[in-house]
Each structure stands twice: as C-alpha cells, then as structure tokens.
Structure 1
Amino acid sequence: MNAVAAPVATHPKATAIFTCVLAALAGLMFGLDIGVISGATQFIQQAFKISDHMIEWIVSGMMFGAAVGAVLAGWMSAALGRKRSLILGAVLFVVGSLLCGFAWSPYTLIAARVVLGLAIGISTFTAPLYLAEVAPEYIRGAMVSLYQLMITIGILVAFLSDTAFSYSGDWRWMLGIIAIPGALFLFGVFFLPDSPRWLLMRQRDDEALQVLQRLRGNPEEVQREANDIREQLRTPQRGWHLFLENSNFRRSVGLGVLLQLMQQFTGMNVVMYYAPRIFQDMGYDTKSQMWFTAIVGLTNVLATFIAIGLIDRWGRKPILYTGFAVMTVGLGIVGSMMHIGINTHGQQLFTVAMLLTFIVGFAMSAGPLIWTLCAEVQPLKGRDFGIGCSTFTNWIANMIVGATFLSLLNGIGHTATFWLYAAFNLVFIGFTFWLVPETKGATLEQIERNLMAGKRLRDIGS
C-alpha cells in the first residue's frame, strides 16, 4: 500500500480534486449509516416483537461504537496512516452492514450496529484530517465542506432507499444494501495516495515529495509545502500535558465539549433516527411516514448550502443565533400542535412544515458550524487532543439522545418532549452570546494568542 496516484486523472489539479472527492465519500458512508436505521425501526420492532427501549439500544449502539472508534482513530491515523485507517473503516462498514442484514436477534443487531459505529468513528476522524492534508489550499475549504455535504446526501439516499423497501417491509434489505456503496468506497480507497504529511512524519521524504508532485505539479510549490509541513512537525502535539498544565487550554477544550453538547441537544438526531415515528404520531400512515422522512433528508441537504454560502459572509455567531432561534420556534410549535391535537389534514401539513423549518435551522447553522468552531478554537500544540475530546463528546451525547427519545415520549409525553428540546435551543442562544467567539476573519494564530493571553472565550476571535 505504498503511495499510489489516482489512475484516472493525470493533470495535477484534476488528480487533487479526484483524490479529495473520493476521500470525501467517507461522509456518504457516515450519512448512510445515520439515515438507514430510521425507516427500519418499526419493521424490526414488528419482526422481533421488542419494546421501544430495545429499539433505543439498537439505534444508539452505533453511537457507542463511534465513540470508541473516534478514540482509537487518533492513534491509528498516526501509526497506520490516514489511508490504511480509511481502508479499515471501510472494511468494518461493509462487515457491519452485512451483519445488520443477516442479524438473527436484537442483540446480534446491536452488536452489528456497534461494528458500524467503529467504522464511522474511525472515518469521521480520519477523512477530514486526510482531506485537509492532501487538498490544495485553493480548494481546501470547499473539499471539507464537500465532506459535510456528503453526510447529508448519504442520509437522503438512505431515507429514499428505506422508502423503496418499506412497501415490502423488508428491513434486512434496508440495512444490508448499504454494504454495496461501502464495498465500492473500499475499492476506491486503495487508489488514494498516502498523506504527504504522514509520510514526512515517518521520514519517508522521497515518497512524500512524489505524492505532492502528483497533487500540485509545480516543483517550487511542492518544495515550499514540504518545508511548511516540516516546520509544523517541529511543534509536537502535547495535548494531555498542556491540558494538565494550562488553564487557558482547558477553557478551549471545555468550549469544544460544550459546542458538541449544544449540537446534539438541539434534537436534530432525534428527527434523523425517529422521523417515521414522529410522523406516525402526527397521524400519517406508513407510506406517508416514509415519504415525509425522505423530504426531511432532502431539506437537510438543501439547507446545508445556506451554511456554505453564508459562513464567511455573516460570520459564525449571527448564523448560530438565527439557527437556534429558528429551531426554538420550529420545535416549540410542533410541541404546541401536539398539545392542541392534530385532527385535520391542514394541521398535519402545518406541523410537518414546522418540523422542516427546524431542519433548516439546524442544517444552516449548528450542523456544519460547530465542527468548524471546534477546530478553530484549539491551539496548535493541543489541537489533536482538543478535537478528539469534542468528537468523543459528540458521539456520547448522540448516544444519549438516541437512547432516551422514545422513553421521553412514553414518560412525559410528546408535547413536553418537543418543548424540552425547544427550551434547550433557547438556552443555546444565551450560551452563544456569552461563550462562543466570532472567528470570522481571524487567523488561527490570532485566536491562539488571544486564548493564551487569558481573554474571555467570547473575545478570542477579536
């Protein structure tokens, strides 16, 4: 598995784009895994005759595996390399998908979902890292955004696939068919080059220069970038020691953790995992539930373009204010409609519209921006540690959300559950005002200097 150039593109710019697009397909696998369980749960519940609580464990098993995978991914990407880590993630994805399709008991299905989670945890850490290291500077932002877009596309494709199989109710095909795109991704990853940065980390300078030459083309640019990487590598990662020694770094790690908690407790993944159940509670039949779930996925994809277009115009905080406000209103009205009673077709459509409004609020704000901020606020020496902590938090919070939603519905009722998540979003507006910095136009070096100088978190982007 030595460094290999992509065989279908010979021009350096085309080679770089081809390489980045292929790596970004890891996001598609992530999205497929998130979306595919949503349409299958009601059929799994009927087949195995299991409780809502067991469904919660089947759903959240993936997030547990992802948390473990994210912890292991940092070591793996350094020891094995970015490419080999992506290969391992793709293998686990195919194996987990097939195990889901052939699961003979609820416990087997939980185990299979944990395997899928390991794959996703590895890939979600490694793919953005690989993209940032191989993408030329002029398309780096676009390629990282493409990864986020691929996640939403994967969710949409999974929802559409579930809708198609819902007519037969065959949940095994719903869960197992994503092994096919997983296998295609696995095949494609073998043609990716190793990361030049990782090769230089391993003192394989000649191979690193060869990869950079294929991706950049200009010998002067290749030498300049190689020198820049060598200079950066002279700053060793010492995150754990920095965390123990430096209170300012602990503040940035804490902010990253808080940001991920905010993202997960918006309630977005509640909708992603349980959309058909929510539409069922609005009075829709099975076919309508599945088609409305697909519309949720499409809305998520389209609204992501709003964030891509506005993030460097409006800035981070105005977009977060707007998103959290929209989500508060959307979920608040959904809860109110549940309280009043959804008795007519017009009331049904209005409630669906408010749920879709909530989706737009998330996809244009907290969805992509939280990940951007988590990377921006961490100082260079502790960036891997800080991002690792926030990523782990994301998956644990995701698991908590997935494992409690049906219990909340059954315990405190539909109205109180949606009002609870609306209240979370309202509180997050305050958190954004008091704690989140505006990083638009600020360099990472400026943010780090302000952080280490002890400035308030909300001012470190000034």
Structure 2
Amino acid sequence: MSTDKQTTARIPKRVIWLALAGAVGGFLFGFDSSVVNGAVDAMKDEFALSEAVTGFAVAVALLGCAAGAYLAGKVADRYGRIPAMKLGALLFFVSALGTGFAFSVWDLIFWRLVGGLGIGLASVIAPAYISEISPRHVRGRLASLQQLAITTGIFAALLSDALFATSAGGAHQAFWLGIEAWRWMFLAAAVPAVLYGVISYTLPESPRFLVVQGKEDLARKVFDSIAPDEDTDRHLREIREAIEEDQLAGLKGSLRGKSFGLQAVVWIGITLSVLQQFVGINVIFYYSTTLWKAVGFQEKDSLAISVATSVTNILVTLVAIALVDRIGRRPILLAGSVGMAVSLGAMALAFASATGTGSDITLPGAWGPVALVAANVFVISFGASWGPLVWVLLGEIFPARIRARALGLAAAAQWIANFAITLSFPVMAAGSLPLTYAMYALFAAASFFFVMYKVPETNGMSLEQAETLFVPKGSVKV
C-alpha cells in the first residue's frame, strides 16, 4: 500500500473510540500536572511556605510520576494494560480529594505524591495501549492523541483555575461551601478520575499483550474487531516472530544490554524523554501565572495568558496529528527543534533587558510583547513536534516483550528530568532568567543533532518492523 493510500485510508470507528478512551489517561495526566498552576501563590500564603518549600510542593508530584512510570511497566507486563489503567484512576481520585482537603503542607505534599503515581501510570499505559491497538498506517495520528489529551487536560485545568479564581475574587478566597477556590481547583480532578475508571472497564486488553501471554485466540478476536480489513494472521505472525527473535538473542524480556547496562534502544527512548523536558516546556505551564505576574501582568491577566497558551498547544497538536503519518516523524522533530532553539534564544534576550531583582522585575518597552510572542512560538514549536512525537516514538520503538517496561523506564527518566527542571527553575530564575532560557535553548539545539544522527524514520511500519531499525548491527535476526 502506498504512503498516500495509507494516510487516506478509513480508520475503523472502534479503533478511534479505543484510542480516545485510552487517551483519557493523558487528559488526567495534563489536568493533574497543571492544576497546581493557579494555586501556587494561594498555597504559599495558606501554609506560609518559603520559596524552596513551594518549589518542592509543586515538583514533588513529579517524583511520584517517576515512580509510577517505572512501576507501570511492571504492572502492565504482569497483569495487563487495563488493570494498570484502573489503578491509575483510583490514585487520581484519592489524590484529588486528599489534596483538596489538605490541612498542612506535609499532608499536601503526600497527596501530590499520590497523584504523581497516577500520572506516571497514565503516562506509560496510554501510549503503549494506543500504539498496540492502532493500525500501522494511522498509528502516528492515533498515538498523537495522547499529547492532544495531555494538552486538553492542561487547558481544562488552567481554565477551571481561572474560573474558580475569578468567581471567588482570588484563588485564596472562600468559594462554594466556604472552601477556598484553590482547594476546589484540586477537587475538580475527581470528576475526570471517575470517568477514567468507568471507561477502563469497557476497554479490551491489548492484543499484543495477549499474544505475549500465549492467549492468541483472544488476541485474534480483538484484532478482528479493531481492524477487520487487515490481515490478522500477519499481525499475529509478526508478533510471534519478534518474540522468537528476542529469545534467540538471549534477551527474553530483559532491558539489559551492552550499552552501559541497557539495550541501545532503551537509551534512545530515555534520551528522547530527557531532551523533551530539558527544553523547559513545563516551566511555561507550571509557573506561567507566577512568571507573567512577575513581569507586570495582574493575576487575572496572567491566568488568561496561561489559558491562551494552552489553547495554542491544543491547536498545534492537531497540526501534528494531521502531518505525522504524511511527512514522517523525523522532519517534524527537526523543524520543532529549530523553532524551540530560536524562540528560547529570543526569550533569553528579552529577559536580559529586565529591570529590578528577584520576582520584582519588569520588561521595558517592546520586550514584554517580545517575550510573550517568543513564549507562544516556543509552545507552537514544541506542541507541533516534540510534544506528541516523543510519545509516538516511545510507543513504537520498543519490542513487544519489553515495551511496557522500557516505556516505563523512559517515562520515569522524563519525569525525573521534569522534576529537575521544575525544582531548579525558581532558583535559577532568581539568579538569572536570561541564562536559564539560554540553557534551555542549548538543549533544544542538542535535540536537533540527536534526531539527525540517532533517530531513524518509522512512518508506515508495523510495530514489529519499526523495532528492527533500532537493533544494533550484528544482532541475531530471524
């Protein structure tokens, strides 16, 4: 089948539904990780927190994310993708209630950590599940739904934050039932958590997981239901051959290899994940309200800017979904790296002109609009490339027998990198915002060369074919 025919082929409605349902975890991922944005200052005042403790309270969820991502691979490989989804939904739900009713900073930190475990689970299970149920010719588009769901979750969180804060007259003001608005921001996450739990009971197990478990009859039924026009026997044969190849190579489901203790493909996944975070994208979302207040905007203006930024992220993710299966992964990633490096460099120049010290700074003249435009160009560049496509690649480069665990390790590395950036930003920003953004620009430039020399094109291939591109020369092949 030609590439043109592949990209225009009809996608079975059931596949679209399963991909959307699986991506609800991504929505919770985005919502739970960004809802803290509008509550940061109110939390700081409520519990009289220092800058360091505030940064830790925001970033601690990311440690939970790293642990959750690592454990998700083990849970998913042992019990299945669907049980892992159900566990994630439960963690999201109890975290929303616990954080909303926190009575001390340590209580707050504990429930943020629990929520992080849920986010970590969702960050692994959603891309793995979507990749494993998607036909090869539309896998890029359907796998990109994970990032679309994340950005939609970010938008929903920032919008709800803005609505609660505006309606109550400020995030620290009492709202419904006499409960402060910032607490309602966290409690709102209970609604999508319940929805995610209900949906997880309606989804079939991943057919590739079923084959690995020796349940080919069940896998055949799932393949026949999600892709009736495709060759089910070929799918099953390719999965069996990939498993046999692993066994002949002596891997037998192990992540271990000769490249610093891990298989080379695992290091590629880890590096993609770390670079995705080291460009500083989450600083825009976690600290955007506080950041824009620091450069002269009021709270309501800053929240509006944050919401507008998240809407932009959603729109450009739709562009990526439209293009990923047409022009491939590499060209989009390379273009995104260039856009990020240039826009981050512009932000570094803008903040170099700032007057004042610490959080009491302003951007004179046209530098304020320059910073705002550059921030949105950065979001566009990231949202159309590295945001969705890293999840696409993580879902398709690993062999079936280690996919969940390798994806879990790569996602754990991503969350640790996210934690490092989030925790370090307040301190680095207080020291020098220009140098901070210049450092992110250097990582964006590094991402260009990494893709150029280490990431092959996987567009239009089955999962089993794509994984062979990352097998070192001289490895055993069937």
Counterpart residue type for residue 414 of structure 1: L
**Aligned residue for 1:45?**
44
Note if contact 1:265-1:424 (Cα within 8 Å) is conserved in structure 2. Answer: yes
How far apart in 2 are the matches of 1:136 and 1:441? 9
Q: Residue 337 of structure 1 corresponds to which residue in structure 2? A: 350
| Aligned partner (choices 183, 195, 201) of residue 194 of structure 2 | 183
Does the aligned pair in 1 maintain the 2:353–2:364 contact within 8 Å?
no
Change (3 A) 1:171 1:203: same
Q: Quick check: 1:429 aligned with 2:448? A: yes
Q: 2:392 aligns with which of 372, 377, 388?
A: 372
Alpha-carbon distance change, 445 to 232 in structure 1, aligned in 2, over 3 angstroms: closer
Say what the alpha-carbon RMSD is for the aligned residues.
Answer: 3.0
Judge which range, 47-56 or 243-252, deviates more. Answer: 243-252
Q: Residue 363 of structure 1: which of 377, 383, 388 is its match?
A: 383
Match status 1:418 vs 2:437: yes
Cα deviation 1:250-297 (Å, max 9, x = unaligned): 433333222222111101011111001111122101100100000110
Residue 281 of structure 1 is matched in structure 2 by: 294
1:413 Cα shift?
A: 2.5
**TM-score, with normalisation over the residues of structure 2?**
0.83
The answer to which of 324-333 and 434-443 deviates more is 434-443
Distance 2:210 2:333 in 1: 38
For 1:163-178, what aligned pairs fall within 5 Å after superposition?
163-167=162-166, 168=168, 169=171, 170-178=181-189
**Per the alignment, do residues 67 and 247 of structure 1 end up closer, same or farther by CA in structure 2, a change over 3 Å counting?**
closer
Greater Cα offset, 229-238 or 265-274: 229-238
Matched, 1:251 2:275: no
Aligned to 2:207: 196
For 1:324 and 1:450, locate their aligned partners in 2 and report how far apart those are by CA, in whole Å: 22
The CA deviation string for residues 11-30 of structure 1, in whole angstroms up to 9 with x for no partner, is x9444433332222111111
Amino acid at match of 2:158: F
* Superposed CA offset, 1:411-444 (max 9, x none): x222222222223323433444444445556776
Decide whether aligned partners of structure 1 residues 129 and 348 sit closer, same or farther in structure 2, where only a CA change above 3 A counts: same
Report if aligned partners of 1:324, 1:361 keep a CA contact under 8 Å in 2.
yes
Give the structure 1 partner of residue 175 of structure 2. Answer: none
Shift, 1:175, TM fit:
1.1
Where does residue 306 of structure 1 map in the other structure? 319
Judging changes above 3 Å, is the alpha-carbon distance between structure 1 residues 252 and 239 closer, same or farther for their aligned structure 2 residues? farther
Pair 1:391–1:292, CA change in 2 (3 A): same
- Pairing partner for 1:351 from 371, 375, 395: 371
Greater displacement, 168-177 / 419-428? 419-428
1:16 and 1:134 in contact (8 A); partners too: yes
Write the distance in 1 (CA, Å) between the matches of 2:194 and 2:392: 30
Partner residue of 1:111? Answer: 110
1:260 pairs with one of 265, 273, 277: 273
Post-superposition shift, 1:234? 4.2
Change (3 A) 1:165 1:229: same
Residues 226 and 415 of structure 1: is their aligned pair in 2 closer, same or farther, counting only changes over 3 Å? closer
- For residues 446 and 298 of structure 1, the distance between their equivalents in structure 2, rounded to whole angstroms, comes to 33
Quote how far apart the aligned CAs of 1:344 are: 5.4
d(CA) in 1 for partners of 2:82, 2:375 = 39
Question: Which residue of structure 2 aligns with residue 460 of structure 1?
Answer: none
TM norm structure 1: 0.86
Residue 174 of structure 2: aligned partner: none
| 1:142 matched to 2:141 | yes
Q: How far did 1:390 drift?
A: 1.8
Larger CA deviation: 138-147 vs 282-291:
138-147
Which residue matches 2:411?
391
Q: Secondary structure at the match of 2:152?
A: helix
The alpha carbon displacement at 1:329 in A equals 2.3
Task: Please state whether the residue corresponding to 1:31 is helix, strand or coil.
Answer: helix
1:310 CA drift (Å): 3.4
Number of the residue aligned with 1:125: 124
Residues 443-454 of structure 1 correspond to what in structure 2 (within 5 A)? 445=465, 448=468, 451-453=471-473
> What is the rounded CA distance, in whole Å, between the counterparts of 2:336 and 2:415 in structure 1?
21
Pairwise CA distance, 1:193: 2.2
Distance 2:199 2:461 in 1: 37
> Which deviations, in whole Å up to 9, do the C-alpha atoms of 1:375-430 show, x marking residues without a partner?
555456655554333222111101111111111122x2222222222233234334
CA distance in 1, matches of 2:78, 2:470: 33
Partner SS for 2:84: helix
Are the equivalent residues in 2 in contact too, given 1:133–1:195 (CA < 8 A)?
yes
Secondary structure, aligned partner of 1:243: coil
Task: Show CA shifts across 1:307-342 (max 9, x none).
Answer: 223334544444333222222222222222222234
- Give, as a single letter, the amino acid of the residue that structure 1 aligns with 2:97: L
Partner residue in 2 for 1:296:
309
Give the structure 1 partner of residue 420 of structure 2.
Answer: 400
For 1:292, give the aligned amino acid: I
1-structure distance, mates of 2:470, 2:132: 26
**Residues 70-105 of structure 1: CA deviation (Å, up to 9, x unaligned):** 111122112222111111110111111111111111
Give identity over the alignment, percent: 32
Q: 419-428 or 201-210: which moved more?
A: 201-210
> Does the Cα contact within 8 Å between 1:262 and 1:428 map onto a contact in 2?
yes
Deviation at 1:38, TM superposition (A): 1.1
**8 Å Cα contact 2:276/2:390 also seen in 1:** yes
Alignment of 1:7-46 (within 5 A): 13-46=12-45
Alpha-carbon displacement from aligned partner over 1:223-274 (angstroms, at most 9, x marks no partner): 5545554554545573775634578974333332222221111010111110
Contact 1:34 1:272 in 2 (8 A): no
Q: Given that residues 239 and 400 in structure 2 are in contact (C-alpha distance below 8 angstroms), is that contact kept between their aligned partners in structure 1?
A: no
Report the AA paired with residue 184 of structure 2.
W
The secondary structure found in structure 2 opposite 1:391 is: helix
Query: Counterpart of 1:415 in structure 2: which amino acid?
Result: P
Structure that is richer in helix per residue: 1
In the other structure, the counterpart of 2:78 is: 79
